[in-house]
Amino acid sequence: MSFDVFLNFDGDCRDALAFYADVFKTRMPAQIMTYGQNPGGASEADGERILYASLPIFGHNVMFSDCPSGSDYAKGTNIALTLGTPDADEIKRIYDALSDGGTVDMPLGKTFFSELYGMVTDKFEITWQLSLTAF
């Protein structure tokens, strides 16, 4: 099972990546996926925004993304905890437990990057991303 942090930004993700790469003395990611590279397509306004990138910081994977333009982005609430496991039943169990009293942000389902992925904000306003991973 993996446990990672996901940071969201409002169009300045590339600047944040450069800043944190410098602060933590690591290299900029070799691969940065933009919304324009998303197989599902993207709006023209979001084409150059970053959909996904990650930096290794002290041996941990810290993931970065720009929110789509027009989203309810608010500084200070731009962190999501991310769990990955190869156990689909465990993903469903955790998702259901976190959803109880919370808000479903993205129902569990297949995406272009995972066979089973979902996002939920729990009753304490903590956002969680759950993903079936191959280990």
- Residue that is written with structure tokens 């800043």 in the block: 19
Q: How far apart are CA 127 and CA 125, in angstroms?
A: 6
What is the domain class of 2-132 according to CATH? Answer: alpha beta
Instruction: Tell whether pTM > 0.85.
Output: no
Kindly tell me the sign of the dihedral angle through the C-alpha atoms of 86, 89, 95, 98.
negative
- pLDDT at position 135 over 60: no
* CA pair distance 109, 131, nearest whole angstrom: 10
C-beta of residue 128 within 8 angstroms of C-beta of residue 117: no
- Taking CA atoms, 119 is separated from 14, 25, 29, 94, 99, in Å, by 23, 31, 24, 11, 9
Per domain, the residue ranges of the chain are 2-132
**Res 86: pLDDT:** 94
**Predicted confidence (pLDDT) per residue in 53-93, tens digit:** 999 987 888 999 999 888 888 777 788 888 888 999 999 99
Across the range 15-26, mean pLDDT stands at 91
Q: How far apart are CA 54 and CA 4, in angstroms?
A: 10
Q: pLDDT (tens digit, 9 = 90+) per residue, 28-45?
A: 998 999 999 988 878 888
Are the C-beta atoms of residues 90 and 66 closer than 8 Å to each other? no
Inter-residue contact 121 to 102 (CB < 8 Å): yes
Q: Is the pLDDT of residue 47 over 60?
A: yes
Average pLDDT estimate for 93-122: 93
Residue 2 has pLDDT above 90, yes or no: no
